[in-house]
């Protein structure tokens, strides 16, 4: 297998993914019925804990169309289709349909993401590619990174690098997609596959009260960690709804923990690969201005544009949408849901003389950056959600 060309990141090295292992376990899922959202990003939507059925939910129902052109999952990582030359394993059609289902749940709950995808795609009739999908987990009792990573590893994804966030008590791993034979210019579910970024809360570093709450619900879930990808694709929690007081306890100590308690394995964010766009929005600075002029609020933590030390990875994100969540004691509160991110990966110095039309994804900066990601995490914070735009 050819190793990728990696620029140094401000994170610790991964031990070749040898610690990634499958979990075992059975479970009951508490499904959510998605409502067709309003395009107004200021209006939260309501989550109802009712079982989904085939007639009420379909991945295609919430897919984005622009002039009948389907815009959905995914973009690339290395080689021409973004892979690191590891072979795809298993049924590709099944895998892509799972991704489409994850995306459908995400779009049904997050009107900002849906509206932004439609808006960006409408400029120059552009096709949308995703740079990466991101998930949050609890790093305890098999409910951490491994639980979600197992699905992607089974289909040929490769662990690339670990990132640490000591102040937030988080760690993350990102995974590069396998090589798949996609047609030139393919996009959406028929295009190149996205990177995957999975983070976990270091539960053993939290207070005893917070640890007890997290362990209570992962314990209730039983073997739910074995079905992380299924829960994400169905829009389901693998544990019971928590008490409002328990959510508040987690929120006081870690907003990440509180988010994960009520959102579970849901897609935390999808990221548009801006340099894959054809219009002037391929420049992320132009895209940020365009997004704000259309009334959407960007995460301002550390500035709206997050730039890696080498200057080659530039990222921004909207502020998360909110939903009304009914807790098990009957109380209802608006809680953060998900957001959409934007990433521009610039051409590596050694390829700077290549004509633009010859530049492929493997000629661009790969990987992630701790400093950027640390600020992107704040997209679901109370401070960002309550901050007035502009």
Please tell me the distance from the alpha carbon of residue 253 to that of residue 300, in angstroms, as a whole number.
Answer: 22
Nearest to 118 by CA among 132, 128, 109: 128
Q: What is the pLDDT of residue 131?
A: 95
Nearest to 111 by CA among 16, 209, 42: 42
CA 348 to chain centre: 25
Nearest to 178 by CA among 197, 194, 162: 194
CATH of 91-386, one of 3.30.70.100, 3.30.300.160, 3.10.180.50, 3.40.50.1100: 3.10.180.50
Give the 3-state secondary structure of residue 208. Answer: helix
Q: What is the pLDDT of residue 90?
A: 80
Q: What is the pLDDT of residue 189?
A: 56
Please tell me the distance from the alpha carbon of residue 371 to that of residue 302, in angstroms, as a whole number.
Answer: 9
Please tell me the distance from the alpha carbon of residue 224 to that of residue 203, in angstroms, as a whole number.
Answer: 18
* DSSP one-letter string for 51-83: ---TTT--GGGG-EEETTEEE-S----BTTTB-
User: CB 26: neighbour CB atoms within 10 A?
Assistant: 9
Q: What is the pLDDT of residue 124?
A: 81
Q: CA torsion 297→232→64→117, rounded to 10°? A: 20
Contact between 203 and 139 (Cβ < 8 Å): yes
**Residue 216, C-beta contacts closer than 8 angstroms, at least 6 positions apart:** 246
Give the 3-state secondary structure of residue 322. Answer: strand
Mean pLDDT in consecutive groups of 10 residues from the start of the chain, 390 residues:
35 35 34 37 38 37 36 41 65 91 96 95 87 98 98 97 98 94 57 91 98 98 98 98 98 98 98 94 98 98 98 98 98 98 98 94 96 98 85
Triad 367, 115, 37: Cα angle to 5°: 115
Q: What is the pLDDT of residue 185?
A: 53
Q: What is the pLDDT of residue 12?
A: 35
Q: What is the pLDDT of residue 186?
A: 56
Characterize the bridge pairing of strands 45-46 and 158-165: unpaired
Contact between 158 and 89 (Cβ < 8 Å): no
Question: Which contiguous run of DSSP H or E holds residue 132?
Answer: strand 130-138
**Residue 15, C-beta contacts closer than 8 angstroms, at least 6 positions apart:** none
Per-domain residue ranges of the chain: 91-386
Q: What is the pLDDT of residue 69?
A: 34
Distances (CA, A) of 90 to 30, 280, 308: 28, 38, 35
- Tokens 């292992």 correspond to 21
DSSP symbol at 7: -
Contact between 133 and 193 (Cβ < 8 Å): no
């Amino acid at each position: 297998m050819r190793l990728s060309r990696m620029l140094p990141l401000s994170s610790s090295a991964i031990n070749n993914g040898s610690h990634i292992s499958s979990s075992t376990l059975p479970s009951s899922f508490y499904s959510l019925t998605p409502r067709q959202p309003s395009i107004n990003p200021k209006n939260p939507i309501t989550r109802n804990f009712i079982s989904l059925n085939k007639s009420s939910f379909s991945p295609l129902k919430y897919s984005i169309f622009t002039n009948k052109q389907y815009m959905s999952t995914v973009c690339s990582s290395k080689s021409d289709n973004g892979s690191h030359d590891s072979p795809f394993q298993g049924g590709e059609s099944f895998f892509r349909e799972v991704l489409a289902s994850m995306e459908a749940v995400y779009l049904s709950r997050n009107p900002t993401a849906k509206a932004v995808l439609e808006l960006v795609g409408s400029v120059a009739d552009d096709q949308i590619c995703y740079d990466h999908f991101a998930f949050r987990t609890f790093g305890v009792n098999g409910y951490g990174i491994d639980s979600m990573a197992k699905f992607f590893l089974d289909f040929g994804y490769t662990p690339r690098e670990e990132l640490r966030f000591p102040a937030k008590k988080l760690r993350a791993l990102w995974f590069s997609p396998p090589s798949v034979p996609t047609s030139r210019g393919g996009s959406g579910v028929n295009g190149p596959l996205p990177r995957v970024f999975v983070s976990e809360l270091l539960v053993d570093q939290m207070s005893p009260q917070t640890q007890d709450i997290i362990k209570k619900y992962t314990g209730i879930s039983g073997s739910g960690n074995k079905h992380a990808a299924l829960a994400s694709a169905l829009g389901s929690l693998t544990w019971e709804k928590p008490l409002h007081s328990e959510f508040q306890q987690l929120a006081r100590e870690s907003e990440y923990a509180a988010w994960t308690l009520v959102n579970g394995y849901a897609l935390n964010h999808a990221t548009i690969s801006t340099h894959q766009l054809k219009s002037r929005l391929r420049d992320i600075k132009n895209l940020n201005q365009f997004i704000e002029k259309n009334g959407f609020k960007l995460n301002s933590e550390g500035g709206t544009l997050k730039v890696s030390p080498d200057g080659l990875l530039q990222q921004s994100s909207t502020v998360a949408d909110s939903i009304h969540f009914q807790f098990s004691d009957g109380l209802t509160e608006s809680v953060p849901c998900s957001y959409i991110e934007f990433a521009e990966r610039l051409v590596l110095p050694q390829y700077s003389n290549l004509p633009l039309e010859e530049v492929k994804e493997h000629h661009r900066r790969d990987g992630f950056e701790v400093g950027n990601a640390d600020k992107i995490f704040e997209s679901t914070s109370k401070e960002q959600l309550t901050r007035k735009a502009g």
